[in-house]
Amino acid sequence: MRLRAILFDKDGTLIDFDATWGPAAFAVMRELADGDGEALRRLMQVSEYVETERRFLPTSPLVAGSSAHYGPLWAQVLGREAGPGFFGLMDDLFRVHGLANLAPIGDPAGVAAALRARGLRLGIATNDAEASARAQAKALGLDAHMSFIAGYDSGHGSKPQPGMVSAFAAAQGLAPREVALVGDSIHDLHAARAAGARAIAVLTGPLGESAHAHLAPHADHMLGSIADLAALVDALERASPSA
């Protein structure tokens, strides 16, 4: 069956996770700590954040989770109620500071244009908030190429649940196998497989090339980065019985 649509993970796939969220998260934590050094230290501790390097450890709950997942940890540290109000505040702060530190991987807009020229429909599925995803897509010049953008709060669930992938396929009027999800984490690949879509792994996440052995058993295809997607699409098209 031909590949007709591609759904992108965002962090670690379209944007550099450490370069974007390392400094952005520190700014958010410092703002929420409001001058309380001990609170800031504890926020970094529960987030598995390396202050001297402005990055997260690969095991950090922030690497693949949403504010709904790690927000309760932060709320406990700060003595705040772990609910929609606090999580919404976190999302607002992350949107602002994420945009201020936005670092793309390669040329996402150029890749998207090349894929669109091949007739593929494109979307974004992220465990970030939808508003943040849309703001970053606009800043990167991707919004004109995307027919679907969903975050953890868009009503489809979060990855590794298959909801965003299934919703994208349905919105395009496609069978799941005509869709591929491209991502850098096991959550992305599990979401693709659970939805019946194809799973494409890229090695541009926090673990870099060392993620290959971890991701390969769960991926239909392994790529260095999204820059390799057009070549993969061309190869799949040549191999397709309907080509």
The domains found in the chain, sorted by start residue, are: 5-16+104-239 (3.40.50.1000), 18-100 (no CATH)
Distance in angstroms (rounded) separating the CA atoms of residues 198 and 182? 9
Over pLDDT 90: what percentage of the chain?
Answer: 91
Q: How confident is the prediction for the chain on average, in pLDDT?
A: 95
- pLDDT bin (cut points 50, 70, 90) of residue 47 is very high
Over pLDDT 70: what percentage of the chain?
Answer: 99
Of 226, 239, 243, nearest to 113 by C-alpha is 226
Distance in angstroms (rounded) separating the CA atoms of residues 2 and 81? 48
